[in-house]
Amino acid sequence: MLDDKLIVEFNAPTLEEYIFLREKVGWGELDEQMASVSLHNSLFHVVIRQKQRLVGMGRVIGDGGLFFYVQDVVVSPDLQGQGIGTLIMDNIEGYLAGAAKKGATVGLFSVKGRESFYNRYNYRDRPNAVLGCGMCKFI
């Protein structure tokens, strides 16, 4: 595990941190206004810091009742594979255990090749015998 203590916080990262971390993992540039609105409208945030530096984050978005969506689970590339993603998802799942009631749907998009990470939290690949393909539209 990591030499320096990790700090878990349940608030949004700064706008600058959010944009920087997403760019650092290759998710592209974001419009600042769009990023600000997105962070502000999230239902739940978890950030992981090491010596005050943002090293990982995740958030939950949705309507807070029937639909929840796990978004922006991201770990700094230099610290991947050291349990930070698990720490993020454990906290997200803790939030969802209280917020998502029976009949709610929780969704997410996985980065290609990382599906097995989410399978251990009972997220299922689509399509499968019950569900058709998940779809999205990018603007």
By the 8 A CB rule, do 102 and 66 touch?
A: no
Look at residue 2 and tell me whether its pLDDT is greater than 80: no
Q: Any idea which fold 6-119 has?
A: Aminopeptidase (3.40.630)
Query: What's the predicted TM-score (pTM) here?
Result: 0.92
N- to C-terminal Cα separation, the chain: 39
Amino acid symbol at 17: E
Burial class from Cβ neighbours inside 10 Å (0-12, 13-18, 19+) for residue 123 reads: middle
Q: Report the pLDDT value the prediction gives residue 93, as an integer from 0 to 100.
A: 98
| Mean pLDDT of the region 66-75 | 97
Strand bridging mode 105-108 / 67-75: parallel
What pLDDT digit, counting tens, does each position of 95-110 carry?
A: 999 999 999 999 999 9
